[in-house]
Structure 1
């Protein structure tokens, strides 16, 4: 894919993140996500591989967040997960084979990016959505850092499977 595709995909990740997070309170914004994902899939050359990657990563991510919620890292209003958070995993997954693929090689790069960006995204999202963090911001961030140092490299790898 060309440079324009990568830039468009990176912009989509930003728009999608904001749509999901703000959609926690302004629910019509969540409609942006299926529209954006449909456009994303329409533009993908390997559509069936992309759909499989989206489903694998989103399912694994939802299971992870459900587990973290069940052990008290997060406190959600909805069980097992809010819709906006499940959609957020699809948005993230839509970048793993494209604008985020660079993080996967070498492995340590994805671990480093995940260690910092994962907790920051969660902490910012929690503040904007009203998700309670029983361990506090610092405790939650410190717990999420090593988790995301593993999650992002694994997610990039899983997304690349055919």
Structure 2
């Protein structure tokens, strides 16, 4: 049941942030805080979400700096807007829950990343949340390649964070994603 709630929470966050961008950031932040508090292993969950979100923010920042993405707005301290950073945190909150199955199936994660990640940005472009700086098809192919690599990497990072948390905690109270399945 929690996996379904996690999936619905991410979808709600995606739509709020894409359609309204910074207007309802506080709703998504509240959902993320509730997620961290309510999920077991809160410190491990927070660490996984943080590391995965940072990987995504770095990736999108590099794409924005290279002109692949163009975001409206001025006065940003990062190359990507705050709402997109928050979206990465929301996405990262699915890794150990609604997307946990992919953590041990890297080829499937790569394939779904290539399709799902790319379609997410195409939908964002169609809804005018982002502009592509390159022509449409080269951008789509570039995003598919990046997401095909990024998804397995994010799952590997997640597993490394979980392993470190187990060693730091020194007990068996932490379950890895693989053990949960």
Asked whether the two chains share a fold, i.e. TM above 0.5, the reply is: yes
Q: Alpha-carbon deviation of 1:125? A: 1.2
Task: Work out the CA distance in 2 between the residues paired with 1:28 and 1:76.
Answer: 16
Give the 3 Å change call, closer, same or farther, for CA 17–132 of structure 1 in structure 2.
same
Aligned residue pairs, count: 157
Aligned to 1:64: 59
The separation in 1 between residues aligned to 2:41 and 2:17, in whole angstroms, is 25
1:11 matched to 2:13? The reply is no
Runs of 4+, deviation exceeding 2 Å: none
1:22–1:29 Cα contact (<8 Å) kept: no
1:113-136 Cα deviation digits (max 9, x unpaired) = 001011100111122234221212
Q: Which structure is higher in helix share? A: 1
**5+ residue gaps, structure 1:** none
* Runs (5+) with no aligned partner, structure 2: 163-181
Aligned to 1:126: 125
Q: Matches of 1:41 and 1:131 in 2, distance apart?
A: 29
Deviations along 1:21-79, one digit per CA (max 9) or x if unpaired, are 1222xx33221111100111121111000111111111111111110111111112344
Contact 2:70 2:131 in 1 (8 A): yes
Instruction: Name the residue aligned to 1:92.
Output: 91
Q: Whole-Å Cα distance in 2 between the matches of residues 111 and 127 of structure 1?
A: 24
Q: Does 1:21 align with 2:53?
A: no
The TM-score with structure 2 as length reference comes to 0.82
Mapped contact 1:93–1:159 kept (Cα < 8 A): no
1:143 equivalent to 2:142? Answer yes
C-alpha distance in 1, partners of 2:83/2:57?
Answer: 11
Equivalent position SS for 1:99? coil
In the TM superposition, residue 105 of structure 1 has moved relative to its aligned partner by 2.0
Q: Work out which of the two has the higher radius of gyration on C-alpha atoms and give 1 or 2.
A: 2
CA distance in 1, matches of 2:125, 2:27: 20
